[in-house]
Every structure is written in structure tokens, then in C-alpha cells.
Amino acid sequence: MQHFASDNYAGICPEALAALQAANAGHAPAYGEDEWTQRVSDRLRALFETDCDVYFVFNGTAANSLALASLCQSYQSVICHEIAHVDTDECGAPEFFSNGAKLLPARGANGKLTVDAVTELITRRNDIHYPRPRVLTLTQATEVGTVYRPDEIAALAELAHRYGLHVHMDGARFANATASLGLAPAEFTWRAGVDVLCFGGTKMGLPVGEAVVFFDRKLSEDFAWRCKQAGQLASKMRFLSAPWLGMLEDGAWLRHAAHANAMAQRLAAGLHGISGIRLLFEVQANGVFCSLPEPVMSGLRERGWRFYTFIGTDGARFMCGWDTLPESVDALLADIRTLAR
């Protein structure tokens, strides 16, 4: 039975696994000095069409926290959306790794920050008692499965830079956002003003690992030491980096993300018209959020389905992954239809 609780329920996709196995040959220099790490970093520079600095860490919490910590001092603050993963689901890691920088949550419909809400937080106060905003972080695709357009990102980044803030993007589902937008990744990252991107690998089909991509290379000074201190420098780095090669070499990352997005569309289309069920957000990536009557939720759980109800809204979240089968979507829909009757 496939589940819809999270896109990290899925296993390793074949392309990543093949690359991982290929890297398991003989000895190779440790701590990122190996050829795979160099090749993947070059691939990412080619993908983003710019000479960025690339680091690999084990998970999204580490990527976000260490990136944010490198962008601000402990007495400064990070503006985020009120349902941002960095604020709600990282157990205080951004505050911990930055030695106390404060997260300032802003409201915004559809999981997105707005220029007005961010301006209000930046300009609210300028006195010694207020933790000065120094970073703006946005999530692409958002926690509720919507996707920022490049012009929305550019407007937020222009505002941030005007006030001296750096721009960080939590791209745990960057692949899904890219597939959804159908644009070159550069168009909605550094060309739109993003300084640092945490590019999610795990959710797109890797066994483990995220890439932290510094478009503004001045900001990556000492980042390697930060990773080491935080226990995030893999000694056998090739096994963290090599799976990326399999994803990037023949476009598997976008193919799989497009498939996950298509499965979410299939689910959303099926939910449409079932009485008592309402989609809560436009489905633009691989997540479907809907309100479900309590008996339907408990009935689904009794039938063995797993899904979350605590992310961002009071509805249910169904996530699709690179391996989600159309038959699994249809089986879930069939159970929802039966229970909703």
C-alpha cells in the first residue's frame, strides 16, 4: 500500500540508486574532495547557469538552519511565513544554530509572503530593543502546495535587498516548483534575487541529502566550518553527492517531480465534486490539501491510509511522490467516495 502522508515515504528512485551504486567502487578522497562531489557541484552550476558555491548536508532542517545562521547575527531576525517549516517544524534549529536569531512570522494567503506583510515587519521598529530583520526566507513550493511566480519572488527580493536583508529560499520541493513553473531554475532563484537556496534532494527521490546553493558567494564564507561543527560534514561525501548525478544527468529530477505533480492533479480532480469535501488551496505542486468530514478521516485511517492533518491548515494533506501510482490515487479516491456517502 502506498501512502500520502509525505513525499519522504517513498524509496530511492532508480536513477539515484544506480548512481549511488556506481560511486561504491574502490577508494575515494573523503570530506568532499572526491570526483562525484566535484561533478555534481559543476552540474548544479550548469543547471543554475551561474558560478554558485555548493554544499551537501544530510537533511532539510540542517540545510535551512545552517544557511540562515550564515546570513545573520544572533541579535538579528529572519522574516518567514507563519506556516514556514523553519518556524513550525524544525524544533527551533534555526534559532539554535544562529545562537538566538529570532524568527518573525508574517501572514499571507496561500502560504505566500506578501510585500505588504514583509514591509510591515521590516519597518515596524528601528530601535535597540527590536531584533533587526536581516533575512527573508520563502518556501518554494510552499508548505501548502502553492508555487511563487518569478515576479512575486522578485518583488519580495527587491524589497528585502532595499532594506539590506538577504534572501533565502527553502526549496525542499524545489523540483516540484520547477516542474510546475516550467521555467529555467535561474529565472526564479538568483535572477529573481534569491541569495541562497536549500535545494531538496530527499523528497525528489534521493536516499538522503540536500544541496545548499549560494548564489551570492560572499555569503558562503566559513560555511564549510559551520557544517563541520554542526555534524553535517559527511566524511564519505561521495555517497551524499553521487545520487544527485543520477538525478541531474538525464533530467530525472524534473521527470519525477512532474509525475508527482500530475498525481496530485489526478487526486484533486477526483476529489472535486465529492460532497462534503473542499480543496483548500490551488494544487500547483505535489500536495493536495482538503477539508474532510471527521468520519471520512477516521474511516480512511481505519482502512490503513496515512496522511497528515497538522500542516499549515486544519484540513488533511495528501502528498504525492516520484513513485505514486495512478492506481494508488484511484484506490484512495474510491475509499474517500465510499466513506463520504
The interface region with ligand PLP, picked from 57-65, 121-129, 174-182, 239-247 by CB under 6 A, is 57-65
The interface region with ligand PLP, picked from 56-64, 101-109, 245-253, 296-304 by CB under 6 A, is 56-64
CA distance 6 to 322: 11
Q: Is 202 a binder of ligand PLP (CB under 6 A)?
A: yes
Transcribe 22-38 into DSSP letters.
HH-SS---STT-SHHHH
Residue 251's identity, in one-letter code, is G
- From the CB of 166, what's the least distance to ligand PLP, in Å? 18
Nearer to ligand PLP, 132 or 232 (CB): 232
Nearer to ligand PLP, 143 or 323 (CB): 143
Identified binder of ligand PLP from the candidate list 85, 134, 226, 266, rule CB under 6 A: 85
Q: Is 143 a binder of ligand PLP (CB under 6 A)?
A: yes
Q: Is 60 a binder of ligand PLP (CB under 6 A)?
A: yes
Nearest residue to ligand PLP on Cβ basis:
60
Q: Is 98 a binder of ligand PLP (CB under 6 A)?
A: no
CA distance 338 to 109: 32
Transcribe 81-121 into DSSP letters.
ETT-HHHHSSTTHHHHHTTSPEEEEE--GGG---HHHHHHH
DSSP secondary-structure letter at 101?
P
- From the CB of 59, what's the least distance to ligand PLP, in Å? 4
Which is nearest to 9 in space by CA: 337, 286, 319, 265?
A: 319
Residues in region 236-265 near ligand PLP by CB under 6 A: none
Which is nearest to 49 in space by CA: 156, 197, 189?
A: 189
CA distance 324 to 7: 9
Nearer to ligand PLP, 139 or 324 (CB): 139
Structural contact between residues 277 and 338, judged by C-beta atoms closer than 8 angstroms: no
Nearer to ligand PLP, 60 or 193 (CB): 60
HSE-up of residue 107 (Cα within 13 Å, Cβ side): 2
Mapped onto helix, strand or coil, the DSSP state of residue 95 is helix
Residues in region 295-334 near ligand PLP by CB under 6 A: none
Q: Is 59 a binder of ligand PLP (CB under 6 A)?
A: yes
CA distance 253 to 251: 5
Q: Is 139 a binder of ligand PLP (CB under 6 A)?
A: yes
Q: Which residues would be at the binding site for ligand PLP (CB under 6 A)?
A: 59-61, 64, 85, 139, 143, 170, 172, 202
